[in-house]
Structure 1
Amino acid sequence: MRKLLILLLFVLLCAPCSFSQEVPNGNIKSIQLRPLAENQFSAIVPLGTVLELSFDDLDADQKEYYYKVEHMTHDWKPSKILSNQYIDGFQSNIILDVNNAFNTYQNYTHYSIKVPNINTIITKSGNYVLSVLNDIDEVVLTRRFVLYENTAVVGVATSRSRNTKAYNTEQTVQFSVNYPTLRINNPDQEVHVSVIQNQNWNTAINGLKPQFFRKNQLIYRYINKSNFKGGNQFLNFDNKIIRNKSMNIVKVERKEVYHNYLAPFEKKDNPSYSYNPDINGQFVIRTIEGADNNTEADYAMMHFNLMSEKIHQKDVYVVGAFNNFELTPENKMSFDVQSNTYNANFLLKQGFYNYTYATKDNNGTVSYGDVLGDFSITENEYTVIVYFRQIGGLYDRVIGVGNSYFTGER
């Protein structure tokens, strides 16, 4: 009996934490975590706001999936507070809103859950990870979201870089934090900030310290440390009509599913800024061939074609909010020596999509400007998140959030 207890204890101690065990699953598609309001894409919202997580499983077999909500620190490590300290109700529960696709060539099951809900009421501001687990507790997907208080007012201003070397390629974010009702004794230790461009956490700037102090105000006026590459306007396509050519789709084939071929994009040695309205890398699921976008929008095999000489010692990827701006094997492009083109194809649900091309070198350094270029006049969205934890405090509050839309100074 003693040996059995020791063995069980060993298994429990060695078992990996669920939040870090995301199981790659190519059948999970069209993941969205957004407010209920139409055309709202950010999962950084006031405490109490309802967010909806939705996704499709192409296995189409109505699996039992569970969601789990976990509080995190400002730097996205597991918080030390217990779940009953930030949730009134259940931290984890089954996803009940499950529907099969209707009248589509690609079979799938659509899942959705709203958080908070009657069973899971979140009581604290902060960083959160929302995970979806299968029936054997494997994590199949995770998404970040942030709930904030309106305790501080965050003023954000953006401009072209003031550094002459980066004046044409980078943008500067400067901001102030006004906290009339808080007592902050040591801002360097108690306050942390994150600056995010276009809802892409992969390029977030962290670790900035306030440069100037006034009564109940912190000022951040960095010239270089808060600079972002400007990038270029996102490319886009719209296949709400999956059977016919449409915006930037030049060829359609009917196979096991519809195949949509995008117009080739030519990489130039000296790219230029090209203005076209975009939604900063986001996507919208929609079809005009059915009444319900969730279950009647079909999937198409999208073919991307980049005309370019081989970019030596770098891999090329297609990225956007549709894959959380991640560089994965599925969206990695292959190079065709004969045609001097990079190609990639993968399934996407009908809708309007923004996307761009990213490169990664042998050291793992990612660039979003190698193909389309970086320009300081590109339109971008910036978000500043302010965290506060008093000395001896238990968790990182989010006391305020500020936004700025850089509209492109010319």
Structure 2
Amino acid sequence: MPNAFHRIWIALSWLLTMQATAQTIPTTDQILDPKIHTVLLYPLIGSTPDSPGKTLNPPIVLTSEDAMNGQQLQLEFDDLTGSYRMFRAKFIHCNADWQKSALNDIEFTYEYNDYPISEYQTSLNTKVLYYHYRFTVPRVKLPGNYILVVFDERNPRKILFTRRFMTYANKVNVTAGIRFSTSPQRQFQDQQIDMSIDYRNYQVVSPQDDFKVVIRQNYRDDKVITGLKPNNVRVFEQQIDYNLFDLSNTIPGGNEFRFFDTRTVLSRGNYVDRVQYQPDRTIAFISPDQPRIQGAYIQADDFNGLFVIDHRESGNPGVSADYIETVFTLNINELPDGEPYVNGAFNFWQLTDANRMTYDPAIRSYRASIWLKQGVYNYDYVVKRNSPRPTADELLIEGSYSGTENDYEVLVYHRPPAARADQLIAYKRLGVNKRK
């Protein structure tokens, strides 16, 4: 009975918390507790679930009407408090715009929407002590957008972090292709996505208005194309086309990402300038970087902004990879109207104090020090301008080229007749300028 009472107490506490803070829980990827690091959410696919490359797949899985079928997601994160804490998880269902939907929990979950996170390990032979948690995310009923909310069991009002994920059902067929922009002024900088939707055998009242299409570059929620309207509706073939001429389906190609390798600190990895060893930490100085806005595009292989956690010596990166104080240096003069940031999936592509760079007049460069778990990381530099309005300029230092290799996703949402929320009814993943 104590377990039953404990479960009721958690449920009531969570209900009161949701009523009090429903408007304050973010529906973006955010870490709200500064002691939580390296939040990974990825699909459980393939025969080698412990491979370091598992995190290169986005948290998007195929849903199923059967609770025992369909793909699942795996959550991993570290708690750097150095002591064990009890955590729990819950889902929030969202519409296509990532605003909370009107659905009740029972409409999209197979069981009670409150899950304990009980699997954990302590770090091994690391200078920075941490607890490593793992949680297999339960399946959900409906295809769509979800927020995974992790909170402190002892204090349900304390949200540790939120992570977006999606489940989809292939109810319509998407055909898409990518090329350089048809605009002569932008053909060397932008990439254009043309697509069509075949909705045969799917009920839709007004296809030109009812489908909500989102195109996302490199799995980034800050690099999306929305609000597209079809240029052609073929009623008899039940197909709509998005071959647009107003450039609304184009996006800057960007540049290949920079990278560095800290899988080992016993020697210097790729693009690591030097390593310092201190009793309580290890410091890795990344090779100083230069702006890439000038000159021709240079082909390079990358993870399209993502990263993998790995540890060469042990092969067990979850608990043996240490946290390294990673120092970035950008060799540019002080900017009069902006601040540069180190940008990447490791920070959810967000510009915060954690990845902001400061100017050091002694070396006439910008620097940032970020605690990162050992692995291989992609990153670039973004300049945040505060006037006349806050904007993030990723092209000022990195440049943009239509020949850049990128990944794209096409997501098609629809709200079925009599339904109360948007569903993700098609998902297509494709790339451009892929290397053979």
- TM-score, reference length from structure 1: 0.92
Query: Structure 2: how far apart are the matches of 1:406 and 1:78?
Result: 33
Equivalent of 2:377 in 327, 348, 353: 353
Q: CA deviation at 1:13?
A: 9.8
Is 2:288 the partner of 1:234?
no
SS of corresponding position for 1:172: strand
Deviations 1:240-269 (A, max 9, x none): 112321100010001221100111011256
Match among 126, 136, 142 for residue 114 of structure 1 = 136
- Alignment partner of 2:397: what SS? coil
Offset at residue 386 of structure 1 (A): 0.2
C-alpha displacement of 1:393: 2.1
Paired residue for 1:200? 220
CA deviation profile, 1:51-110 (whole Å, cap 9, x unmatched): 111111111211111111111101001111111011010212110111111111110011
User: Structure 2 CA distance, aligned partners of 1:335 and 1:249?
Assistant: 21
Task: Describe how 1:227-306 pairs up with structure 2 within 5 A.
Answer: 227-255=250-278, 256-267=280-291, 270-306=294-330
The more displaced of 333-342 and 275-284 is: 333-342
Give the number of equivalent residue pairs.
395
Give a deviation string over 1:311-351, Cα, whole Å, max 9, x none.
22111111111111111111000012232211001110111
Rounded Cα–Cα distance in structure 2 between residues aligned with 1:23 and 1:147: 22
What code does the residue aligned with 2:61 have?
A: V
* Matches of 2:318 and 2:192, distance apart in 1: 39
CA distance in 2, matches of 1:23, 1:324: 9
Match of 1:377 in 2: 403
Once structures 1 and 2 are overlaid, which stretch shifts more, 181-190 or 256-265? 181-190
CA–CA distance in structure 2, aligned partners of residues 14 and 101 of structure 1: 37
Aligned to 2:429: 403
Q: 1:79 to 1:300 in 2, by over 3 A?
A: same
SS in 2 for 1:339: coil
Q: 1:389 aligns with which of 395, 404, 415?
A: 415
After superposition, give the CA deviation of every residue in 1:378-407 in whole Å (9 maximum; x if it has no partner).
000010100011344212111111122011
Contact 1:133/1:139 (8 A) holds in 2: yes
Greater displacement, 21-30 / 75-84: 21-30
Instruction: Give 1:408 shift.
Output: 6.5
Q: Tell me if 1:95 matches 2:117.
A: yes
Gaps of 5+ in 1: 1-10
Q: Do the aligned partners of residues 307 and 64 (structure 1) sit closer, same or farther apart at CA in structure 2, a change above 3 Å counting? A: same
Specify which of 248, 255, 259 is matched with residue 225 of structure 1: 248
Amino acid in the other structure paired with 1:19: I
More displaced 10-residue stretch of structure 1: 385-394 or 263-272: 263-272
Structure 2 counterpart of 1:32, from 25, 32, 40 = 40
User: CA 1:311 to 1:187, structure 2 compared with 1: closer, same or farther past 3 Å?
Assistant: farther
CA distance in 1, matches of 2:375, 2:293: 32
Q: TM-score, normalised by structure 2?
A: 0.87
Quote the Cα distance in structure 1 between the aligned partners of 2:338 and 2:241. 39
Instruction: Name the aligned partner's letter for residue 43 of structure 2.
Output: P
Look up the equivalent residue of 2:177 and give its one-letter code: A
Question: Could you list the per-position Cα deviations for residues 141-168 of structure 1 after superposition, in whole angstroms to 9, with x for gaps in the alignment?
Answer: 1111110001111112111111111111
Sequence identity of aligned pairs in percent?
A: 28
Structure 2 Cα separation of the partners of residues 404 and 251 of structure 1: 38
Q: Secondary structure at the match of 1:200?
A: coil
**Contact residue 388 and residue 399 of structure 1 kept, 8 A:** yes
Is 1:74 paired with 2:75? no
2:176/2:193 contact within 8 Å kept: yes
Q: Are the aligned partners of 2:208 and 2:240 in contact in 1 as well (CA < 8 Å)?
A: no
Following TM superposition, by how much is the alpha carbon of 1:229 offset from its aligned partner in structure 2, in angstroms?
A: 0.9
Give 3-state SS (helix, strand or coil) of 1:371's partner.
helix
Of 169, 191, 201, which residue of structure 1 is paired with 2:189? 169
Task: Report Cα offsets for 1:349-379 as digits up to 9, x if no partner.
Answer: 1111111111111122112111111111100
Preserved CA contact (<8 Å) 1:289 1:297? no
Closer, same or farther in 2 for the Cα pair 1:12/1:305, shift >3 Å?
closer
Q: Is 1:42 aligned to residue 63 of structure 2?
A: no
196-205 or 181-190, which deviates more: 181-190
Given that residues 411 and 426 in structure 2 are in contact (C-alpha distance below 8 angstroms), is that contact kept between their aligned partners in structure 1?
yes
